[in-house]
Amino acid sequence: MKFKFNYLILAAFLTANFSAKAIPTPEAVEPQYDDDGNPTYKVVYGKGDRLKADGTPLNLIQIECQGKAVDMVSDEELDKCRGDDSLVEMKYGWMDFATYKGWRAYHAECHVCHGPDAMGSTYAPSLMTSVQQGMTWDAFFDVIINGRGVEQGAQKGNVMPAFGENTNVAPHIEDMFRYVKARADGKIRRGVRLPKLPKFKEE
Partner 1 sequence: MSILKKSIVASAALALPFAVSANSKLEKMMKDPNQWVQQSGDYAGHRYSELDQINKSNVGSLKVAWTFSTGVLRGHEGGPLVIGDTMYVHTAIPNIVYALDLNDNQRIIWKYNPVKGGKYPGGETMDRVISVMCCDNVNRGVNYHPNGTIVLHAADTSVIALDAKTGKEKWITTNLHAGTGKYGVSASTGSGQPFIIKDTVGVGCSGAEFGVRCNWTSYDIKSGKRLWRAYSMGPDKDMLVDPNKTTSMLKPIGKDSSLKTWPGDSWKIGGGSIWGFYGYDSKLNTLYYGTGNPSTWNPVVRPGDNKWSMTINARNPDNGMAKWLYQMTPYDEWDYDGVNEMILVDMKVKGKNRQALVHFDRNGFAYTMDRASGELLVAEKYDPAVNWATHVDMKTGRPQVVDRYSTAHQGEDVNTTNICPAALGTKDQQPAAYDRMSGLFMVPTNHVCMDYEPFKVDYVAGNAYVGATLSMYPAPGGTHLGNFIGWDADKGKIVWSNPEPFSVWSGAMATAGGITFYGTLEGYAKAVESKTGKELFSFKTPSGIIGNFMSYTHKGKQYVGILSGVGGWAGIGLAAGLTDPTAGLGAVGAYSALSSHTALGGVLTVFALP
Number of residues that bind partner 1 (CB under 8 A): 57
Residue pair 49/57 in contact (Cβ under 8 Å)? The answer is yes
**Helix, strand, or coil (residue 8):** helix
Q: Which is nearer to partner 1, 64 or 187 (CB)?
A: 187
Return the exposure string of 97-111: e unless at least 16 CB atoms fall within 10 Å of the residue's CB, then b: bbbbbbbbbbeebbb
The verdict on 46 binding partner 1 (CB under 8 A) reads: yes
The verdict on 198 binding partner 1 (CB under 8 A) reads: no
How far apart are CB 109 and partner 1 at their closest, in Å? 5
How far apart are CB 85 and partner 1 at their closest, in Å? 22
**Helix, strand, or coil (residue 57):** strand
The verdict on 193 binding partner 1 (CB under 8 A) reads: yes
Of 21-29, 60-68, 84-92, 153-161, the segment contacting partner 1 by CB under 8 A is 153-161
The verdict on 113 binding partner 1 (CB under 8 A) reads: yes
Among 160, 174, 185, 197, binds partner 1 (CB under 8 A): 160
The verdict on 99 binding partner 1 (CB under 8 A) reads: no
CA dihedral 43→105→39→130, nearest 10 degrees, is: -150
Which residues fall within 8 angstroms of residue 165, CB to CB, at 6 or more apart? Answer: none
Position 108, amino acid: A
Of 23-31, 61-69, 84-92, 118-126, the segment contacting partner 1 by CB under 8 A is 118-126
Q: Which is nearer to partner 1, 24 or 39 (CB)?
A: 39
Q: Please, which of residues 4-23 interact with partner 1 by CB under 8 A?
A: 5, 8-9
Q: Which is nearer to partner 1, 44 or 69 (CB)?
A: 44
What's the farthest any 2 CA atoms get from each other in the chain?
59
Residue pair 89/64 in contact (Cβ under 8 Å)? The answer is yes
Residue pair 128/118 in contact (Cβ under 8 Å)? The answer is yes
**Helix, strand, or coil (residue 62):** coil
Which residues fall within 8 angstroms of residue 99, CB to CB, at 6 or more apart? Answer: 61, 63, 88, 90, 175, 178, 179, 182, 188
Which residues in this chain contact partner 1 in the complex, by CB under 8 A?
Answer: 1-2, 5, 8-9, 34-36, 38, 40-46, 103-104, 107-109, 111-113, 115-117, 119-124, 126, 147, 149-150, 155-161, 163, 165-169, 189-193, 202-203
